[in-house]
Amino acid sequence: MLTQGYACEVCNFICHDKCKKTVVSFCSGVALQLIKNPVAHTWSEPSHIKRRFCCVCRKKTDDSVAVECEVCEYYVHVDCHDLAVSDCKEAATYVSNLDKTVQ
């Protein structure tokens, strides 16, 4: 893989050379400092989430308990939860169906 792309030494993020211009997530080591207006995630109950990767440590969520943001599908291990970045982009612009009927 390293002959085809890049790996961050801080957060273990891996990216193909051809994909590097489309990366939208910041390194988890500096991301907390870059968020100017944090928007909290809406976390699910902890459970075993299969076939996903933790957005903090980039490892599979298959073998341990994880949570997901119910709005933007941001997945993190319970052990990585404290390092998750509060940048739920969809929650910042989310209008629930209940709010739409009140207006």
Tell me what pLDDT residue 90 has.
Answer: 65
Tell me what pLDDT residue 63 has.
Answer: 85
Tell me what pLDDT residue 83 has.
Answer: 86
Work out how many domains the chain is built from and give that number: 1
What backbone torsions phi and psi does residue 49 show, to the nearest 5 degrees?
A: -105, 120
User: Does residue 51 belong to any structural domain of this protein?
Assistant: yes
Q: What is the mean pLDDT of each run of 10 residues along the chain (103 residues)?
A: 71 79 69 68 93 88 92 91 82 52 49
User: Does residue 103 belong to any structural domain of this protein?
Assistant: no
- Domain range spanning residue 53? 5-95
Tell me what pLDDT residue 93 has.
Answer: 53
**Helix segments in the chain, DSSP class H:** 31-34, 89-93, 97-102
Tell me what pLDDT residue 2 has.
Answer: 53
Tell me what pLDDT residue 32 has.
Answer: 56
Tell me what pLDDT residue 5 has.
Answer: 81
User: Does residue 85 belong to any structural domain of this protein?
Assistant: yes
How many DSSP H helices and E strands does the chain contain? 3, 5
User: Does residue 78 belong to any structural domain of this protein?
Assistant: yes
The structure's pTM equals 0.59
User: Does residue 102 belong to any structural domain of this protein?
Assistant: no
The domain that contains 34 carries what CATH number?
3.30.60.20
Q: Is 85 helix (H, G, I), strand (E, B) or coil?
A: coil
